[in-house]
Amino acid sequence: MPHFSLSRGRQIALLAVATAFLNFPGMTLAAPQEAVDNTASTDEPAAIPAADDAEDSRGLVQRFNDALEPVNEWFGNMNGHIASVIFFPVPVGPAKVVAEAPAPVDDPVATDTPDDEAEAAPEKQPSWLQKLNRSIESQYRTMPLAVIILLVGATFFTIRMGFINIRGFVHAIKVTAGKYDDPEDEGEVTHFQALTAALSATVGLGNIAGVAIAICLGGPGATLWMVLAGFIGMTSKFVECTLGQLYREERPDGRIMGGAMFYLSRGLPEVGLGPLGKVLGVMFAVLCVGGSFAGGNSFQVNMSLGAVGEVWPFLAPPQNPGDADYRWVYGLGMSVVTGMVIIGGIRRIASAAEKIVPAMCGIYVAAAIVILIKNFDSLPAAVSLIFSDAFSGKAVAGGMVGVLVVGFQRAAFSNEAGVGSAAIAHAAAKTDHPVREGVVAMLGPFIDTVIICTMTALVIVVTGAWNPETSLEFKQQIEGGNGAALTSVAMDSEISGFKYVLGVAVILFAFSTMISWSYYGERCWAYLFGDGTSMLYRSIFLVFTFLGSILSSTNVLEFGDLMIFGMAIPNIIGVVLLSGKVRKHLDEYWVKVKSGEFDREVETRAAAETPSDS
């Protein structure tokens, strides 16, 4: 096992924190001082105090972000290199039709630039791989490599498991409802709690903002392909979460350790790939920890704050220098509430998730249904448009292939099927049958993508919000790329005042995602550094929660998002190699399902409990 000793883990963590801290003071002091000196060299002496006042008026938050700018630029560089690999554009369609062939923007010889810009240009030159990416994207309709890996994997699993996403659907509902629950089974949470904990990590801003933008880019037809991708993604969740149960460990204190890092490091040696399994396990854990700090935490706070600021302007960024900045209040509040939940571990996280997720999903879906009922006359035409557009597509989307790409991408980014994160939550479920938890996990992509994303899509299509010609307000949000605001405006146009309800929903969506990702990251952190360092991880996590409200370094936040999608690479490799073992367990389990053995066990257990209740 790749566990370090407790003291060693703390040394590594503290060294990383200390290194980062020691590098910041220089940047913090240097940036403001240069601004003052430059002003002083050109202005009259009497203007120097005014320059100081202007510097002070920028506020602590702005100065903090100025200090981070070099770091942000470095991460932007890194993001470009990493994204060029993870999201390598694989040609999937015919060449695009280009009216004119402009001079390449990355060729310094092609354009006339001032001498100072020409000298700086070589520092910003893209790598050969980035140039290759741009060349391919300029000529063909493409799909990111990570999305193809997830979709090909999902298709393979669906066929390999005999379409368990169809034949096991009813059984999954029965298990989730608690029909087969046995209090004596090993684990920390119920099937329902495990499902809601995993759902809370995926049901979020992507369901509100991402879907709206996907339809604006790809047209209404993207909805059909999004649903199809969610449908086959159900089997990916089944396989990875079954493996999470098969290779989980129970600690002496009763806590469960499971997830992709365990079935990679413990499962692959069983097929003669021990060294590969250990490498992939550590790789997954490192990516998950990084993703939990940024993509599953700071990024959620940052994005939700942007949407909430549209509803409650006092939480929006200040418009003028010297204006009060209250974004930190949002960050502080989220840090406190999140800390109250995550300190209690998976039991408290699951307890919160089982209340929040059904409530926010119920309110959101109910509002969507009300809107669809109000526009019932337009509903048949909207559904017809979705199907017809799926096989023709908007011209700007690149026809059918373009619509398919947009729909599949949105589903992959929304439900995280194949990423391996959900296996960490489902590993903690109480059950003696790993396959049973796998069928429960299938419901995640169904609820996330097939139901909630579809509801958002139907609202966007029925109200005409996807079409910029419908209204000026819709056009402004589309051009600004603000999917959350577009959905909010669309729903508020049908249900007066609903933007405030949606504002609260956005906060809950972000909060629920954060508490689940804190558990994912903490389990991977413990896998790397030992169980005794969990509290250190949670403390760092809460610091990143607060930073998400004041950080304008988007490259830093996007780096964490890239790490989440990077998790799919080691996970899919391992799950494909171990899929034969899952199929064997599935066949054995399904024989018992069809024979009624599990139903008889329930009846026997109920009969045994009856005398004690009388």
Three-state secondary structure of 346-414 = HHHHHHHHHHHHHHHHHHHHHHHHHHHHHCHHHHHHHHHHHHHHHCCCCHHHCHHHHHHHHHHHHHHHH
516 found inside a domain: yes
- Name the β-bridge partners of 256: 250
> Dihedral sign, CA of 157, 162, 164, 165?
positive
DSSP assignment letter at 127: P
Whether residue 100 lies inside any domain: the answer is no
pLDDT of residue 294: 81
The answer to whether 512 and 353 are in contact (CB under 8 A) is yes
pLDDT for the residue 407: 67
3-state secondary structure of 141: strand
537, part of any domain: yes
Domain for residue 572, yes or no?
yes
What confidence score (pLDDT) does residue 612 get? 52
Distance from C-alpha of 519 to C-alpha of 507, rounded to nearest angstrom: 19
What pTM was computed for the model? 0.79
* Domain containing residue 315: CATH number: 1.20.1740
Domain membership of residue 104 (yes or no) is: no
Domain membership of residue 246 as a residue range: 144-604
Neighbours of 596 (CB within 10 A): 10
Is residue 120 assigned to a domain? no
- Per the structure, how many domains does the chain have? 1
Determine, yes or no, domain membership for 568: yes
Compute mean pLDDT per 10 residues along the chain, 614 residues long, and list them. 41 39 36 39 44 50 67 71 80 59 41 44 66 81 81 92 94 90 82 86 76 80 86 93 92 81 94 92 93 85 79 74 75 89 81 84 90 91 87 56 65 78 90 92 90 90 84 76 78 85 84 90 91 89 86 65 84 94 95 90 80 53
Structural domain includes residue 156: yes
